[in-house]
Structure 1
């Protein structure tokens, strides 16, 4: 006889049908209730995280239909809010720590091996008990903002706000945050960069502390609702002034630079100000509560508790802060690589043609240097100097190298989605137009480079042959130059990916150096340098300072790129691995030298066509890999979640269908540019 296992009744059914059996009188009973409640929302092991959306919707239907379920849930939450210490959750959890990157990393490593003991009186202990699985934050974040807002609206958050004990908890946390904001706002990383009219006693970072102290006194005196509401409105206004000062400092970072410490400080300030706004909203008695802001805090608390000892997440976050300030400079420069009008497009082509002219000499010199009998290291060094000198010449003459664009244009595109700079959702239609601009600008620079590089290098190879009665490359050596660009007779496309990565890294280096030069005020310090003042006239010092401020990042980036490209092949030979680079313009130059060495009459046109297409493929891979790396870093560092914009691909595709020519040439109508 088979014994059928009895089906466990649903938690909601138990609460509704037998409410008297569920007693909520202490904290532990409240925790158990919440554990059971959210267990009904948590996706099963074999389910996608997105299924939590449907489960929460079913829970909300049950809450609206059954008053007793809603009352029990409210009672459980209120018990925990009143009987736990909220300070750590509200003032520390999810706030970047001020003691520094390395100290926090060491603490996480320590707690990874030996977890810290949790205080049962701490509200974070409750979060850890209710959302006890390490991946709970994933389904919590997978639930849409709209559903969470509706859920907390149904249960009337904040519940029990008039309860004296809850007010005391909230006020205590608010006071701690206000002291921290006042102290941080007076640090030199902030105070030295805000407008002069808002420093010292007039600083909003200090003023908010006095106002919050007044609010505490009025709550202690049990003042009327109108008085409390007015006091909270003043606090909200001054917090918004603080936020404007932070935005002002960030807006100046592209010209004045930023340090990692300043970036951390601003993040800490912003987070604490947001917490104060939430707590102020809880206490203001105006019958309006920003549930969306509360939902953001709720998600942060769950994620932070699940990932509090994650080394990977912390390192990623720390690098992201640094990458953001670098991406700011790259995004600012990226604008000059994006064309909108026909005039700008023509300038881009001409600029790229000059860049192609310089590349012709780089390609010739590189092949001549290869003839020298040097040790591998010194040969790679000579290659690197040749590349670096050429890239510096391109930078100094204002010419354009097509493959250097993606690292900057990717940041410029990502900047339009920047969640740290705008509260409204970005204009995705305008973003599609920006992508079209980037596409045609890139095509213009590729065309300008290649239309000069191949014939120009071929001409130089002929002149060299004419002058010295010998070819730069002949016979097998010349044929090898063609084979090296062939898409399947060589690893050219794989090596093109390496080049894309090096282009990306050199862009990061350029942005980092430029940021440091500006933040360190190197130009001003050079002008005031005591030795230079004795040996150099003031106007010359100013010219030197201006040059260093404007060009240092680009020069260091060019040198870095030159050495990356020059040493890559030597690295592969030394270690006996297939590692090298392929750069579209240099590949085009090498192909021209190879064609001249072999002779058109000795090459099948089909083979020559495949080599030409291989060079174009190398350029495409150069662009795609460099853009992908740069865009990923720019997006991650700005806190952008591309999954929030699933409709963008459709918008971009429709724009391409209706205006395909805009991705190649600028439109005649300026309104569509």
Structure 2
């Protein structure tokens, strides 16, 4: 009951304005079985109770008005909800320390009071559901806003605090212009009068004139129209820097900086909305909107998981944005690209057949587990690098390029809703590209493996592999009697990680200016002539991510079994291309008949389906989270996909003639999709 709350406030918090605020919010907060409607009812009940008890209302006004006259609002207006200027690691360390040894709350700091009042994790949810008009009525009930001396003094003080926050935020924006990462992207900002500097100058004049207008020294009010124009120019400048960061390389620090700039611009706009005296009717509603945003930010102020989640999202975006420009496989959009993908898959399958044979003989050589693991890992890693150098590909590779393209189509839709038909067509192309890559791998790897084993038996008179190894291979690809699908899922995770590794190192190469560094490297200048040095620098820069991630991917695949051995867990990997080569070698030992062969081939393709599904699902999830978007209507997407398949059933596995899709072209900067590229790892293996 409101009367009980008023008695509690009078008895326990008569001299404690902060305790009064905390007690009121605790009383308003909905219980476990309640929703925001109960908070609304309590706000209305409190308002009615105070109107019926003028003495209690006057005491409350004096108590909270005195706090309002002394409290500091700068940190809550100019800091809460904005990215920290300390960077991720220092901020993480500070939050961990605050959780272990929290500093005492400062009752005169509005930011600390917010944290004391809204300390429950679900506070942002119910606060946001309470209508702004209801919060406005509560504020007017608790604080003296009447047009008298006390009310005017409180309004003027908050106005000056907001003006100071706007001025400091503008100064911070201007200072960010000279950050080394910003100057790297646009060196001209050091010599020209940018919109960041112009904004700070205009805000300074606006604040000075606003204070003069408040004090009656100026008759005419200095409106914020020019500031609004400059804010829009600053926002465009930030977006331009983001685009440059995609091609010029980014880092978690740079992405963090650009995000902070965007947040600071938005906060200045929010404060200007509140300060505008020409829109007094909307000021209260705008202030309430800012209030709900600050409640949400306060709930995450000392949270470790929100900080990690937010920073990981920035890291994911820095990788996927760069990967959207690079990748070993683009989407095959027409028949020439389709057949190039088939040829690339066949080339990869031929190398994999040899890699599978080397792996089998390493496993049969009787090495101890550790040297065996090292040799198998090197076989995978160096083989994948060779496949990349020969412009081959390995099936089920779902690069960050593909996931980023789909996420881009989703983001282009209004409010995160993509055009279902365009997205469905893009998914159709992705599936078709993966089908032809799998077909090329399986055909080449299985056929060459069988021919090698047959030729060896004809020449040497003995089987290439032992019967025990053949039985082990056939048992290993059987998902009914073994864990083949689990191992295929593990390989899918490594495929996903290899895409992230490629995106990270490609981005790193751009960020460091690797090509220019290698061209002028002192040692290379002494060893190589200029033309050779420049070609080498261009190749390494263009393939930096692919080369590193391919080798790292081989290490991951080759060491999975050894990690399982150390942990006592049944860990291994299965991949469709290596499984098809293993099947070819096993069938050369003793052909089990066409029906059994068809069944075993079906098991191999099932392994490929798991590889593809896991790797693609993880990559798409990261790309969507990195862009802060989602597929909001999956049923519409499924209907659009089914409609396209029903119109052109053969398009599932073969592109129609003159198959051109404008949405896919737009997703690839207006260029027809090709099947190969120079920058993503696309190689995988099986143990």
- TM-score normalized with structure 2 length: 0.81
Cα deviation, residue 246, structure 1: 1.7
Of 530, 536, 547, the match for 1:544: 536
TM-superposition CA deviations, 1:140-164 (whole Å, max 9, x none) = 56x5xxx86786799999x999932
* 1:467-546 superposed matches below 5 A: 467-546=459-538
**Aligned with 2:342 (options 341, 349, 365):** 349
State the distance in 1 between where 2:75 and 2:491 align: 48
For 1:314, the equivalent position in structure 2 comes to 307
Q: Structure 1: how far apart are the matches of 2:211 and 2:116?
A: 33
CA distance in 1, matches of 2:112, 2:609: 52
C-alpha distance in 1 between matches for 2:475 and 2:589: 13
1:97 aligns with 2:84: yes
Runs (5+) with no aligned partner, structure 1? 1-8
1:293 Cα deviation from its structure 2 partner: 8.4
Alpha-carbon contact 1:656-1:663 (below 8 Å) kept = no
Q: Aligned residue for 1:392?
A: 385
Q: How far 1:665 moved relative to its partner?
A: 4.3
| Corresponding position of 2:398 | 405
* 1:572 to 1:27, Cα distance in 2 relative to 1, 3 A: same
Secondary structure of residue in 2 paired with 1:333: coil
Alignment check: 8 A CA contact 1:94 1:301 kept: yes
3-state SS of 2:533 partner: helix
Contact 1:152–1:291 (CA<8 Å) still a contact in 2?
Answer: no
Counterparts of 1:60 and 1:356, CA distance in 2? 70
Runs of 5+ consecutive residues of structure 2 not aligned to the other structure: 146-150, 664-687
1:461 to 1:624, Cα distance in 2 relative to 1, 3 A: same
CA distance in 2 between counterparts of 1:294 and 1:608 reads 71
> How far apart are residue 549 of structure 1 and its match?
0.9
d(CA) in 1 for partners of 2:331, 2:322: 15
Instruction: Answer whether contact 2:47 2:138 (CA < 8 A) is retained.
Output: no
Per-residue deviation, 1:213: 1.0
Residue 113 (str. 1) matches residue 100 (str. 2): yes
Q: Which has the higher contact order (CA 8 A, sep 6+)?
A: 2
Q: Say if 1:434 and 1:671 are closer, same or farther in 2 by CA, change over 3 A.
A: closer
Q: In the alignment, is the contact (CA less than 8 A) between 2:396 and 2:611 conserved in 1?
A: yes
Give the Cα–Cα distance (whole angstroms) in 2 for the partners of residues 129 and 509 of structure 1: 42
Which residue matches 2:634? 649
Are residue 184 (structure 1) and residue 164 (structure 2) matched? no
Find the counterpart in structure 1 of residue 669 from structure 2: none
Q: Distance in 2 between matches of 1:634 and 1:494?
A: 24
Q: Indicate yes or no: 2:261 matched with 1:276.
A: no
User: Paired residue for 1:199?
Assistant: 190
Structure 1 residues 256 and 626, CA gap change in structure 2 (3 angstroms): same
One of 227, 233, 237 as aligned partner of 1:235: 227
Contact 2:127/2:292 (8 A) holds in 1? yes
Q: 1:59: how far off?
A: 8.7
Q: Do the aligned residues in 2 keep the contact of 1:194 with 1:245 (CA within 8 Å)? A: no
Of 568-577 and 505-514, the range deviating more from structure 2: 568-577
Check conservation: 2:495, 2:553, Cα contact below 8 A: yes
| 1:114-147 Cα deviation digits (max 9, x unpaired) | 2121122222234224423133235556x5xxx8
User: After superposition, where does 1:652-667 map in structure 2 within 5 Å?
Assistant: 652-660=637-645, 661=649, 663-666=652-655
Residue 436 in structure 1 maps to residue 449 in structure 2: no
Give runs of aligned pairs for residues 82-481 of structure 1, distance below 5 A: 84-140=71-127, 143=129, 163-194=155-186, 196=188, 198-200=189-191, 202-222=193-213, 228=221, 230=223, 232-287=224-279, 297-333=290-326, 336-418=329-411, 425-429=416-420, 430-481=422-473
1:348–1:444 CA contact under 8 A, matched in 2: yes
Does the Cα contact within 8 Å between 1:499 and 1:565 map onto a contact in 2? yes
Please name the residue that 2:604 is paired with.
615
1:6 aligned partner: none
Distance in 2, matches of 1:475 and 1:511, equals 43
Please give the alpha-carbon distance, in whole angstroms, between the structure 1 residues aligned to 2:315 and 2:507. Answer: 10
> Aligned pair in 2 of structure 1 residues 342, 64: CA closer, same or farther (>3 Å)?
farther
Compute the displacement of 1:342 (Å): 3.8
3-state SS, counterpart of residue 427 of structure 1: coil
Match of 1:636 among 625, 645, 650: 625
Q: Which residue of 1 aligns with 2:672?
A: none
Moved more, 424-433 or 589-598: 424-433
Deviation by residue 1:343-370 (Cα, 9 ceiling, x = unmatched): 4333333322222222222222222222
Deviations 1:543-568 (A, max 9, x none): 11111110011000000011111122
SS of 1:221's equivalent in the other structure is helix
Note closer, same or farther for the CA distance 1:125–1:400 as it changes in structure 2 (3 Å cut).
same
Q: Distance in 2 between matches of 1:658 and 1:149?
A: 44
Deviation at 1:187, TM superposition (A): 1.4
> Partners of 1:593 and 1:304 in 2: how far apart?
60
Is 1:587 the counterpart of 2:576? The answer is: no
Assess, with a 3 A threshold, how the Cα gap between structure 1 residues 63 and 537 changes in structure 2: closer, same or farther: farther
Deviation string 1:185-205 (CA, Å, 9 cap, x unpaired) is: 211111332362x43450222
Distance 1:66 1:287 in 2: 31
CA change 1:514–1:266 in 2 (3 A) is same
Question: Structure 1 residues 280 and 500, CA, compared in 2 at 3 Å: closer, same or farther?
Answer: same
Query: In the superposition, relative to structure 1, how do residues 102 and 670 fare at CA in structure 2: closer, same or farther (>3 Å)?
Result: closer
| Per-residue deviation, 1:537 | 2.7
Give 3-state SS (helix, strand or coil) of 1:369's partner.
helix
